[in-house]
Each structure stands twice: as structure tokens, then as C-alpha cells.
Amino acid sequence: MISRRLYRTVWAFAAGWTALAGVAVAAQRAEVLVQTHAWARFGKGAWRQVRIVTENFDDDGKVASSSITDNTTTVEEVTPERITLSVEVTVEVAGKKFPSPPQTVQQGYAGETAGQTVSFKPLEGESLTVDGRQIDCEAQQIEILGGGNKEIIEINFSPRMMPAILKRRSTISDAASGKTTQEALTEVYSLDKRFKLLDERAERRGYRMRQVLKTDRGTTTTWSDHVPDVPGEVVAHTSQKFDDAGKLVRRTTLELVDYGVEPGSQADSQGDATRDTPRRSRRHKRR
């Protein structure tokens, strides 16, 4: 159960925001969706390893249990319709490691899974203030149906920005009863951030996001750092979950351990507006 929750968590951070940017800008152009996807634009063989530390707290605010998870995600296949990732997870609890068999994850570029349908509707744009800058944005509504749920996503985006999506509001409800089960608001908090990654000499350009996720079990606030040069983009995050009484229930941190891009891939051969120098292939030695 721990591994499955982690698969879903990492996928949401790794693939969600940039994929939707491509959908909003050109929903019918598969090549644009691939190019703007946080994983697909790096092509087959690109990979990222992260380490996730999870702490669970008791009623007295003390750590009741903790775990360390090493997660390695690799791009297996990119098609005009979907991306396929291989996810390897090892969970360490009380000094003992529990590796899980690799899992294959397939998902469309709007975030839909097999059997789900997607529809799009343009909305009236608005001006957002992000990091002290006023930005005129377009807006789009995306509806995903299937699996007994309905998800309504509203995004505000500027195609010329990196990231393209500056605000994302998502509501998931039970398709039969209409009861809301989850609400999330994700916003870009800081633009043009600089991050020092691993042993690299030069800093990388990126941005910072904040997500507030509400369910009937409490509220989770997550701050995440994104670097478009890294497969999956997310290089760090901190997350805190509070119950309805305001007590800290769980704290999670994520850090980048390693990453690599295959020589000759799309991301390797094309420049990127977020870099000071042309993109070049890099392969790290996995730890």
C-alpha cells in the first residue's frame, strides 16, 4: 500500500503541470503535447532518481513512524497518444529495505488513464499577478471522466511563459453522487529561481510552486521546486498534512539524487529558453 501511494504521489508531481500546458495551448496537436510534457520531451531512456522521507506524527506531535523511499522513474515509450514510464521503488523502514517489482505507468497527456475520456472548453482569460509580475493569461477547462470519478480542472496559462501554467484548480467528485472528494489549488509562487543541483557547477533556472490539497481527511500544503532541464522537473519538495483539528499528521520531503538524459534525445538536441547555455547530454552515475 505504501508503494502504490508513492507511485501516485510522484506521478502527480512529475507529469501533471507541464502536460496540461501542452493540452491548453494546442489540444489537437500531439507533437506539441509531447514537446511540453515534463517527461516525454526528454524521450526514451531519460530517468530521474529521488529520495522521499516520510514522517508520521502521533496525537502529541511526536514522530510515530518514518520511512525512506528511493524512487527511480525511467521513460520507456513516448507515442502521440500517451507516455509509458517504468517506476522502481525501494522503501526503507526501521533500517530494513523492501524493494518492489518495477511498475509500468501509462497515462495520456491530459493526465487521463486507460478508459477515461477527456474534453476541453475555453474559458474567459484573466490577468494574474505572479511573483510581482502582472501576466495576461488564457484559461481552459478540462474534464476527465472514468473510473467512477469526474475531475474538473481549470487552468490559467500563458503560452510564452515557462512554466506555461501559472494557476491550476482541480475538483474531483464521485460521478454517481456528485459528492466532492478532493480539491486542489496549485499556483506558481516564484519565477526565475536559481537552483544548485548535485555536483553541477552552474546553477539551473527554475520556478517554485505551492499546492493546497483538501480532502475529508485534512489539508496538505506542498512547496515544490521545478527545473525544466531535469526529467520530471521536480527536484525538491516539502509537504505537511494537517487534520481537521489543525494537528500535524504527516511531513514529507523529496530531494533529487540523480538524473540522466539519453544522447540524441529531443531534449538533448534542442535548446531551452530556461538555460544560459545550449542543452547538452548528461549522464550521472547512479548511487
How confident is the model over 140-163, as a mean pLDDT? 89
* 181 in any annotated domain: yes
Beta carbons of 27 and 40 less than 8 angstroms apart = no
Question: How does residue 266 score in pLDDT terms, banded at 50, 70 and 90?
Answer: low
* 285 in any annotated domain: no
* 118 in any annotated domain: yes
* 287 in any annotated domain: no
Give the range of the structural domain holding residue 19, as residue numbers without chain letter. Answer: 2-269
Quote the cell numbers at residue 214: 483538501
Q: Which residues contact 71 (CB under 8 A, 6 or more apart)?
A: 6, 10, 49, 50, 51, 52, 87, 88, 89
* 277 in any annotated domain: no
Number of structural domains (the chain) is 1
* 279 in any annotated domain: no
* 126 in any annotated domain: yes
* 72-111 pLDDT tens trace: 999 999 888 889 999 999 999 989 999 999 999 998 887 7
Residue that the C-alpha cell 531551452 belongs to: 272
Quote the cell numbers at residue 29: 496537436
* 92 in any annotated domain: yes
Beta carbons of 71 and 49 less than 8 angstroms apart = yes
